């Protein structure tokens, strides 16, 4: 209540203070309008925090940005990247013309890039699409999308690929970012995305960061945490990490653990909670069940690639068989003196799970004593065992205390993990056991990395298995519902899940995908084990299109580069990590012939007739009720019954529909702002609004309700957290005081419906019998700790972890073109412990080789700075294409989520001589 | 509105005007690393800013909203912890700037923008406590590509 009052008081004050410079300017500064700057409300281009921004433009150019004082996410502040959102538009090498590899005036994969018209670009792109489609069917073409797609772009991509081309080969870079979070949400709650919101930061007693260096990766959320810590002596911050980082500097307790042992720490904490009688029995009895799943699920590696390098083969062999280590045997309650050889992935789908009893759950936890876990997990060889144990106990004391609330935050340390789904589920395990989930100030809270990983990749459903609003392509009812909204003939949609983004790279190498369109991402830099994929891109017979704003590493391996419009050069919308949807107006025009991604997809769709894509199609491996094996039926006769003609284009059927054209442009919501998609397409309707309004129909009444397009542009709206019901946003989902979807009087209602009918069994497997229905319940999973696919050994003797830095966004294509950000962090350094460096004859500033089974690169050594490594571990950020660390990393994934583990592999480091 | 359409039309007209065809671009000369993707180049060496506070002239502000970059060495000022903030030791002085003294933290930094945006506090707001979230240090690295940004 107090918070509400504060907010109202603040909002009243908001407009009088909005013109005060929130940054370095004194209060007496003149209002900005006096300089002829025009301020427009918008969103930051970068991370998943979703800071509100005000964009100043003058004479058609963006001149500055500042934090939006009205926006509750960041209240007027931005980080060093956010303040650069004006400069990112103006790098000298902005792409302004399509570029095609040519020789002798025509496309040639071995040619150099030449400027071409959009017409020629699309002609070649379409001819190559048809060649791949004719040879391989809908699975031979693919689109790599993004958690940086606007909501409308993602939705347009889903329609074009899934409805138009009848392919499910659409997957975003967000697969690398939070697919594990998604899988855990679905398995635990039956519905995606966090129950809490950022208000939890001010309402909780303790923040625990697990594999989340928030000080660098979510700086404006970290600012709120530090603010709260400085004003409340009783507030506590725990940082669990594999090396000392910037977040450690603000933490009360830092726990450095050995890579992959986070699962063991969670089980120790759960065991303590149970042992101490700290289980919230009422909460668990009313709202939860216990669950388990198969344990020998592999590591998402390839087993049979003929292209594997010889040194890769020993790691890849672990995909088939694992011999348990002594500790693994103990952790499973097995005799450590006996050899246990476990066939991997032999027990069916890794997603399967079943209900178990509390007693079975407790049995699973039993081996995770303090002594066992501390010996396993201590990550800094120079820390004493006593000191490490004391910290684990302190953390257990904190979580087990019923009088204190905790928020557990995590990001890539959990998600990019070969047991990513499991470790996400363990966070819910502890918060559910203690009754500290879906309550103000208490909850396990998955943060996202990208600005619209939630809003687009997840909610719109740009994954290979998804349709909008949490629906799946392999569910007949979901396909039917989508076909109705999209006015498609029955059985147009393909029931076979497409290739995830890691698989797409493997498919490219195996010649199973021969046409690829990359949008709003730089996958050839960001994918692990990159030597394979750049080789496949450049040396095999395939066609790769990259749409981007600057030339990136991916565009260097492309055959066609298309120039795209940037954030403030188009209309768009993002959804952040607290379910807040924020839309923005276009402010300035894109340069040269750069075009919005929506325009690119709409224009390209004009080149497809229904006759080409909606006839019978071969889809190898397709097996679904109502479908002939390996085939998608022709839906052309049914399409004619719906009023379409074989010559109708996908543009007419998917985009320029009668209902879309009803959204006229110009629109009063624009307040005179331009729309270049409209201008370039020469139309009189408003594609971004039409796409958003159609997309919105999927979520209404299904717990994903968004407000109408225009509402997000109201002066007093700074985005809204869905579900938005009767004009009101929802701060805590599943909690009947706040969430209209939670049954009144239930207290807590985990109303998600996915995976809510499962068999019953014990830790070893399901028992025969009818599945149990679990309405309103969340699942508390027991998940064991296991060894990772690759650990340091005699040859490759160090752990390698990769990640981001505060000053650069992802692969650096925008921020490295901002002079002061580049000058601040000009290259990716190799962070090492001084003793590890000394052992290899290295000192700060020296050049070192970093080599794994997969590749080698050079980097310069640093021994201090923001990351302080324990002995035995190295860290290299991945933003720098000149220090191409993903040539070294391992493409193992969580077998459930298919998300790559970028946080651990084994390397050797030597001095460059 | 008609003015807008006109300006968009003019813009697209100027683009279609005849221009000499640019030379073919090999992929290695695209992007920020002017190398082949198959190379493993040796990254250049850069030096952190090493000057003492006050030793060098203040660099030009990027624009009126961008937090000033740190013109001096930060080697001895970091890390910022809850108990130690050496940046504030020098910069949390009343304005205006006096000769020989550090640039004062401006009045805006004393506002609690979340809870009481109109009341000037006595301490720098906690949300601004980690100075290097917004104010970046520098090295001697020249820009990788030019910028057409104008503040």
Could you report the predicted ipTM of this complex, rounded to two decimals?
0.92
Report which secondary-structure segment, H or E, holds A766: strand A765-766
Burial class for A688, CB neighbours closer than 10 Å (0-12, 13-18, 19+): buried
Q: Which residue from A92, A249, A859 is facing B43, i.e. has the nearest CB?
A: A859
Based on DSSP, count helices (H) and strands (E) in chain A, helices before strands: 30, 38
Model confidence over A826-866: pLDDT tens digits? 999 999 999 999 999 999 999 999 999 999 999 999 998 99
Backbone angles phi, psi at A646, to 5 degrees: -55, -25
Q: Containing H/E element for A414?
A: helix A412-415
**Residue A11 reports pLDDT greater than 90:** no
Domains of chain B, each with CATH number or no CATH: 44-140 (1.10.1130.10)
* Confidence grade of residue A239 (pLDDT, cut at 50, 70, 90): very high
Note the pLDDT tens digit of each residue in A300-348.
Answer: 999 878 899 999 999 999 999 999 999 999 999 999 999 999 999 866 7
The 8 Å CB, 24+ separation contacts for B13-21 are B15/A592, B15/A593, B21/A114, B21/A115
B125 touches chain A (CB under 8 A): yes
> For chain B, what is the largest distance between any 2 Cα atoms, rounded to a whole number of angstroms?
64
pLDDT score, position B80? 96
Angle at A31 between CA A29 and CA A34, to 5 degrees: 115
Nearest CA among A497, A441, A499 for reference residue A474: A497
- Tokens linked to A122: 């699309």
Quick one: average pLDDT of B47-55? Answer: 96
Query: B100 to chain A nearest CA, in Å?
Result: 20
Mean of per-residue pLDDT scores for chain B: 88
Chain B residue whose CA is closest to A671: B1
CB contact under 8 A, B64 and A25: yes
Is A557 within 8 Å of chain B by CB? yes
Q: Do A26 and B129 touch (CB under 8 A)?
A: no
In this complex, the residue of B106, B117, B144 whose CB is nearest that of residue A822 is: B144
Q: Report CB contact under 8 Å: B143, A822.
A: yes
The stretches of A719-758 forming alpha helices (DSSP H) are: none
Contact A172, A147 (CB under 8 A): yes
Tokens of A106: 């025509």
Helices A597-605 + A151-158 axis angle, to 10: 20
Closest residue in A to B17 (Cα–Cα) = A592
The DSSP output letter for A303 is: S
Angle made by CA atoms B63, A224, A714, in degrees to the nearest 5: 65
Which two three-digit tokens encode residue A3?
């918070």
pLDDT band at A19 (very low <50, low <70, confident <90, very high): very low
Q: What is the pLDDT of residues A488-504, one digit of tens each?
A: 999 999 999 999 999 99
What pLDDT, in 10s, does the model give residues A364-378? Answer: 999 999 999 999 999
pLDDT at B3: 44
Task: Give bridge partners of residue A873 from the DSSP assignment.
Answer: A799
CB pairs under 8 A between A and B: 262
Strands A631-632 and A778-781: unpaired
Q: Which of B64, B86, B109 to mutate to test the interface with A (most CBs of A within 10 A)?
A: B64
**For residues A79 and A45, what is the distance between their CA atoms, to the nearest angstrom?**
12
As a residue count, chain B comes to: 151
Q: What is the pLDDT of residue A35?
A: 75
Q: How many CB atoms within 10 Å of residue A168?
A: 27
Q: Contact B135/B62 with Cβ under 8 angstroms?
A: no
Percent of chain A with pLDDT over 70: 96
Q: Do B127 and A227 touch (CB under 8 A)?
A: yes
A168 near A592, Cβ under 8 Å? no
R_g of chain A, CA atoms, integer Å: 26
Tell how strand A829-831 and strand A856-862 pair up. parallel
CB contact under 8 A, A858 and B43: yes
Count of alpha carbons within 13 Å of A891, Cβ hemisphere only?
Answer: 30
First-to-last C-alpha distance (Å) of chain B: 27
First vs last C-alpha separation in chain A: 65
Given a contact cutoff of 8 angstroms between Cβ atoms, the answer to whether A478 and A471 are in contact is yes
Nearest to B64 by CA among A35, A823, A542, A405: A35
Question: Which residues of A does the annotation mark as catalytic?
Answer: 81, 177-178, 412, 449-450
Helix (H, G, I), strand (E, B) or coil at A134: helix
Nearest CB partner across the interface for A672, out of B4, B22, B69: B4
Band of residue B151 on the pLDDT scale cut at 50, 70, 90: confident
Q: Check residue A303 and give its pLDDT.
A: 83
Sequence-distant (6+) residues with CB within 8 A of A597 are A149, A150, A153, A156, A519, A520, A547, A564, A565, A570
Least confident of A13-22, A424-433, A527-536, B64-73: A13-22
Contacts by residues B49-52 (CB-CB < 8 Å, ≥ 24 positions apart): B49/B73, B49/B74, B49/B137, B49/B138, B49/B139, B49/B140, B50/B75
Cβ-nearest to B65 among A10, A21, A99: A21
A176-193 pLDDT, tens digit per residue, is 999 999 999 999 999 999
Query: Judging by beta carbons within 10 Å of its beta carbon (0-12, 13-18, 19+), is residue A789 exposed, middle or buried?
Result: buried
Calpha distance A605→A553 (Å, rounded) = 27
Instruction: Answer whether residue B46 shows pLDDT above 60.
Output: yes
Q: Are A483 and A490 in contact (CB under 8 A)?
A: yes
pLDDT average, residue stretch B106-118: 93
Nearest C-alpha in B relative to A830 = B43
pLDDT, mean of residues A63-74: 97
């Amino acid at each position: 209540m107090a918070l509400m009052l504060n907010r109202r008081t603040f909002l009243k004050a908001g407009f009088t203070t909005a013109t005060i410079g929130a940054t370095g300017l004194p209060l007496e500064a003149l209002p900005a309008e006096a300089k002829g700057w025009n301020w427009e409300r918008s969103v930051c281009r970068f991370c998943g925090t979703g800071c509100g921004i005000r964009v100043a433009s003058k004479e058609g150019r963006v001149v500055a940005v500042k934090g939006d004082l009205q926006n509750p996410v960041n209240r007027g502040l931005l980080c060093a990247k956010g303040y650069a959102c004006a400069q990112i538009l103006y790098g000298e090498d902005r792409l302004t013309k399509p570029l095609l590899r040519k020789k002798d005036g025509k496309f040639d994969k071995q040619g150099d890039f030449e400027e071409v018209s959009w017409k020629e670009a699309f002609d070649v792109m379409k001819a190559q699409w048809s060649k791949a489609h004719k040879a391989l069917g809908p699975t031979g073409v693919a689109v790599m999308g993004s958690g940086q797609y606007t909501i409308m772009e993602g939705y347009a991509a889903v329609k074009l690929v899934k409805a138009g081309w009848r392919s499910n080969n659409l997957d975003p870079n967000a697969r690398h970012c939070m697919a594990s979070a998604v899988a855990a949400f679905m398995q635990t709650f039956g519905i995606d995305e966090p129950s809490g919101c950022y208000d939890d930061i001010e309402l909780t007693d303790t923040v625990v960061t697990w594999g989340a260096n928030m000080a660098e990766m979510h700086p404006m959320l970290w600012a709120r945490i530090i603010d709260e810590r400085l004003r409340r002596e009783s507030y506590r911050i725990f940082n669990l990490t594999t090396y000392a980082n910037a977040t450690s500097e603000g933490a009360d307790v830092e726990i450095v653990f050995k890579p992959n042992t986070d699962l063991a720490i969670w089980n120790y904490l759960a065991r303590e909670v149970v042992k101490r009688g700290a289980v919230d029995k009422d909460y668990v009895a009313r709202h939860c069940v216990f669950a388990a799943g198969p344990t020998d699920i592999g590591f998402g590696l390839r087993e049979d690639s003929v292209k594997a390098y010889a040194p890769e083969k020993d790691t890849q062999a672990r995909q088939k068989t694992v011999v348990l280590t002594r500790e693994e045997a103990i952790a499973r309650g097995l005799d450590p003196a006996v050899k246990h050889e476990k066939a991997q992935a032999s027990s069916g789908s890794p997603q399967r799970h079943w209900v178990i009893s509390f007693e079975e759950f407790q049995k699973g936890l039993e081996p995770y004593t303090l002594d066992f876990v501390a010996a396993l997990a201590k990550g800094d060889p120079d820390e004493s065992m006593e000191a490490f144990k004391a910290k684990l106990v302190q953390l257990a004391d904190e979580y087990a205390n019923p009088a204190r609330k905790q928020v557990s935050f995590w990001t890539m340390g959990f998600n990019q993990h070969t047991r990513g789904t499991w470790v996400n589920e363990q966070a819910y395990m502890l918060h559910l056991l203690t009754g500290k989930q879906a309550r103000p100030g208490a909850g396990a809270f998955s943060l996202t990395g990208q600005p619209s990983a939630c809003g687009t990749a997840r909610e719109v459903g740009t994954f290979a298995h998804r349709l909008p609003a949490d629906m799946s392509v392999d569910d007949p009812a979901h396909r039917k519902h989508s076909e109705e909204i999209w006015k498609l003939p029955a059985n147009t949609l393909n029931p076979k899940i497409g290739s995830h983004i890691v698989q797409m790279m493997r498919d490219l190498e195996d010649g199973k995908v021969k046409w690829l369109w990359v949008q709003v991402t730089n996958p050839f830099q960001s994918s692990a084990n990159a030597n394979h994929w750049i080789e496949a891109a450049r040396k095999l017979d395939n066609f790769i299109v990259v749409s981007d704003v600057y030339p990136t590493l991916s565009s260097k391996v492309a055959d066609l580069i298309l120039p795209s419009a940037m954030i403030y050069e188009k209309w768009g919308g993002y959804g952040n990590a607290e379910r807040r949807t924020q839309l923005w107006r276009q402010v300035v025009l894109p340069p040269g012939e750069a075009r919005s991604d929506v325009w690119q997809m709409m224009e390209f769709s004009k080149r497809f007739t229904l006759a080409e894509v909606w006839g019978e199609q071969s889809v190898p491996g397709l097996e679904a009720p109502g479908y002939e094996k390996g085939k998608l039926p022709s839906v052309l006769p049914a399409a004619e019954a719906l009023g379409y003609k074989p010559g109708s284009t996908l543009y007419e059927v998917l985009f320029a529909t009668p209902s879309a054209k009803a959204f006229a442009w110009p629109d009063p919501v624009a307040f005179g702002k331009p729309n270049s998609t409209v201008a370039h397409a020469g139309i009189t309707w408003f594609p971004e609004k039409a796409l958003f309004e159609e997309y919105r129909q999927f979520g209404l009444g299904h717990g994903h309700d968004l407000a109408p397009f225009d509402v997000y542009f109201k002066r007093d709206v700074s985005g809204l957290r869905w579900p938005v019901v009767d004009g009101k946003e929802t701060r805590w989902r599943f909690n009947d005081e706040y969430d209209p979807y939670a049954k009144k009087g239930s207290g807590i209602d985990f109303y998600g419906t996915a995976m809510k009918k499962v068999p019953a069994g014990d830790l070893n497997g399901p028992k025969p019998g009818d599945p149990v229905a679990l309405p309103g319940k969340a699942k508390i999973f027991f998940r064991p700790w296991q060894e990772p696919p690759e650990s340091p050994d005699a040859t490759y003797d160090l752990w390698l972890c990769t990640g981001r830095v505060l000053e650069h966004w992802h692969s650096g294509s925008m921020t490295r073109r901002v002079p002061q950000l580049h000058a601040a962090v000009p290259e990716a350094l190799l962070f090492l412990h001084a003793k590890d460096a000394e052992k290899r004859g290295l000192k700060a500033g020296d050049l070192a080789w970093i080599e794994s089974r997969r590749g080698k690169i050079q980097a310069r050594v640093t021994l201090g700075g923001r990351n302080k490594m324990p002995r035995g571990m190295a860290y290299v950020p991945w933003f720098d294409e000149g220090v191409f660390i993903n040539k070294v990393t391992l493409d193992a994934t969580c077998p459930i989520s298919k998300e790559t583990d970028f946080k651990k592999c084994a390397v050797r480091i030597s001095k460059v001589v | 509105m008609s003015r807008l359409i006109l300006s968009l039309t003019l813009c697209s007209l100027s683009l279609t005007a005849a221009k000499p065809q640019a030379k073919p671009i090999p992929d290695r000369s695209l992007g920020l690393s002017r190398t082949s993707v198959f190379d493993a180049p040796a990254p250049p060496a850069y030096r952190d800013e090493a000057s003492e506070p006050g030793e060098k002239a203040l660099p030009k502000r990027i624009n009126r909203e961008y937090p000033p970059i740190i013109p001096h060495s930060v080697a001895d000022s970091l890390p910022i912890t809850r108990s130690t903030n050496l940046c504030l030791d020098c910069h949390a002085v009343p304005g205006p700037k006096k000769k020989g003294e550090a640039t004062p933290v401006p009045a805006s930094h004393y506002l609690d923008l979340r809870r009481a945006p109109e009341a000037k506090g006595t301490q720098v707001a906690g949300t601004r406590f980690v100075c290097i979230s917004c104010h970046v240090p520098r090295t001697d690295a020249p820009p990788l590509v030019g910028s057409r940004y104008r503040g």
